[in-house]
């Protein structure tokens, strides 16, 4: 019996819900830095190193998971990722050494979240949706990840206060396993034929080799590196920054939630905008806006309202860079190996994420604050805005005006 393909809306919403869980859980890890430091005595820098390894492992998992999904289908990749994420969360309370934290949070949880993240989900949806629906679907899927941050950040903070950090981790593990039934909808039969390999090559690895010979793909990766640095620094160290300013922990939880809520609007806008404007200009505008927002934050008084406004401004571009980045990859190389090629851009993203999370911890321990990290973040955002401008991208086709 042939399994009936799910409709475009069902595929899109199921993929968004999966990303809501994997991204929401992962983006809440920063709330566990202080509890883990207090419980293990390992120090903020050591806990930050484990999360920094996780930043890179999450990115490194993307092209590998994408290649497996391109070759064998996304079902097993997505299910395995959810199980591995839950296992990493459940095992963390039993880890009392730096190596243990690296294995549980930095490898198991991060790789599991990576296997259930952007590259596999957007790639799977692209092959199960008609071409005209893919840009909007990418925005909706991306918004699902943002909504996950809005839901899980305050939820994790509330769970930590109510049942302790160990119970909170186990509750998040249970929520992750509860998402397994969604895999069947996302990984159902294709409703769109696979594009010919064409210029992308006959295998994921050949496609990667060809892509890195393209200057535009390299520039796209360089810009995405800064995006990862920025996001990982903030999601890991914003709770400590709030504490340094003498504000209650709830401000950090709600700031992360506001980032996620604002990025729902940003992601939906980005999904629509990729059909109207060149993606490279959208990316340049987003990175430039981040540099200006950081400058405004540094000049503002450090109140709860200032944090909330800063979070709302940054949140609009937080993960809104994903749809235009994926769109450029698709325009350059087609959709046949989109999961692999877009996954590789996330390796660059998370290489920046590793440095953002780790250097933030070092800055805190050695300087007692994050001022120089803010300066570095602002400079990198400005550089990323410039790097995207030379990317080769055809103009958006416009419908002819009626007489």
* pLDDT tens figures, 378-403: 999 999 999 999 998 865 544 444 44
What pLDDT is stored for residue 353 in this prediction?
A: 81
Cα 391 → chain centroid:
22
Q: Name the least confident of 69-73, 157-161, 173-177, 313-317.
A: 69-73
The string of pLDDT tens digits covering residues 17-26 is 999 999 889 8
Percent of the chain past pLDDT 90, that is, above it, reads 30
Reading the block at residue 403, the tokens are 């007489």
List pLDDT tens digits, range 198-234.
444 467 778 888 888 889 999 999 999 988 898 888 8
Q: ∠ CA 36-371-229 to the nearest 5 degrees?
A: 65
Q: How confident is the model at residue 11 (pLDDT cuts 50, 70, 90)?
A: confident
Rounded mean pLDDT of the chain?
Answer: 83
pLDDT tens digits for range 224-267: 998 889 888 887 888 888 888 889 888 887 887 888 788 888 88
Can you tell me the mean pLDDT for 349-358? 83
- Is the pLDDT reported for residue 3 higher than 60? no
pLDDT digits (tens, 9 = 90+) for 36-76: 888 888 888 888 888 888 877 887 888 888 888 877 778 88
CATH topology of domain 8-191+201-388: Growth Hormone; Chain: A; (1.20.1250)
Sequence ranges of the domains in the chain: 8-191+201-388
- The pLDDT score that the predictor gives to residue 130 is 67
* pLDDT value of position 264: 84
Q: Please give the structure tokens belonging to residue 346.
A: 């996330």
- Weakest-pLDDT range from 5-19, 26-40, 87-101, 123-137: 123-137
pLDDT of residue 205: 77
**Would you place residue 88 in the very low, low, confident or very high pLDDT band (cuts 50, 70, 90)?**
very high
**Distance of alpha carbon 100 from alpha carbon 94, whole angstroms:** 8
Half-sphere exposure of 327 (CA within 13 A, CB side): 34
Radius of gyration of the CA atoms of the chain, in A: 20
Mean pLDDT along residues 346-372: 84
pLDDT at site 159: 92
Query: Could you read off the pLDDT of 116-167 as tens digits, one per residue?
Result: 887 788 777 777 676 666 667 777 887 887 788 778 888 898 899 999 999 9
Q: What pLDDT does 291 receive?
A: 93
């Amino acid at each position: 019996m042939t399994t009936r393909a799910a409709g475009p809306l069902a595929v899109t919403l199921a993929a968004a819900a999966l990303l809501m869980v994997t991204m929401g859980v992962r983006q809440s890890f920063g709330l566990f830095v202080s509890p883990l430091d207090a419980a293990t005595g390992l120090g903020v820098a050591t806990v930050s190193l484990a999360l920094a390894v996780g930043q890179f492992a999450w990115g490194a998992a993307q092209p590998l998971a994408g290649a497996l999904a391109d070759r064998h289908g996304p079902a097993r990749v997505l299910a395995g990722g959810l199980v591995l994420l839950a296992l990493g969360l459940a095992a963390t309370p039993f880890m009392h050494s730096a190596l243990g934290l690296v294995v549980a949070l930095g490898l198991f949880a991060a790789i599991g979240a990576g296997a259930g993240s952007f590259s596999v989900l957007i790639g799977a949806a692209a092959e199960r949706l008609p071409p005209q629906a893919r840009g909007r679907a990418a925005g909706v899927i991306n918004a699902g990840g943002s909504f996950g941050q809005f839901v899980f950040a305050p939820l994790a903070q509330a769970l930590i206060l109510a049942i302790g950090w160990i119970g909170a981790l186990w509750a998040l593990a249970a929520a992750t396993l509860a998402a397994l039934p969604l895999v069947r909808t996302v990984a159902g039969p294709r409703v769109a034929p696979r594009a010919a390999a064409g210029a992308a090559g006959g295998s994921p690895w050949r496609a990667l080799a060809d892509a890195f010979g393209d200057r535009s793909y390299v520039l796209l990766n360089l810009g995405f590196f800064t995006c990862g640095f920025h996001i990982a620094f903030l999601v890991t160290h914003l709770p400590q920054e709030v504490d340094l300013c003498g504000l209650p922990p709830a401000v950090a939880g709600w700031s992360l939630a506001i980032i996620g809520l604002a990025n729902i609007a940003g992601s939906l806008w980005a999904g629509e905008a990729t059909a109207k404007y060149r993606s490279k200009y959208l990316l340049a505008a987003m990175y430039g806006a981040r540099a200006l927002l950081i400058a405004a934050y540094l000049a503002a008084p450090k109140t709860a309202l200032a944090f909330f406004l800063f979070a709302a401004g940054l949140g609009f571009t937080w993960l809104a860079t994903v749809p235009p980045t994926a769109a450029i990859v698709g325009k350059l190389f087609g959709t046949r190996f989109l999961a692999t090629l877009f996954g590789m851009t996330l390796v660059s993203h998370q290489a920046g994420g590793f440095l953002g999370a780790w250097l933030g911890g070092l800055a805190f321990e050695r300087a007692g604050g994050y001022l120089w990290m803010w300066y570095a973040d602002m400079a990198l955002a400005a550089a990323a805005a410039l790097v995207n401008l030379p990317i080769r991208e055809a103009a958006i086709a416009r419908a002819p005006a009626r007489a």
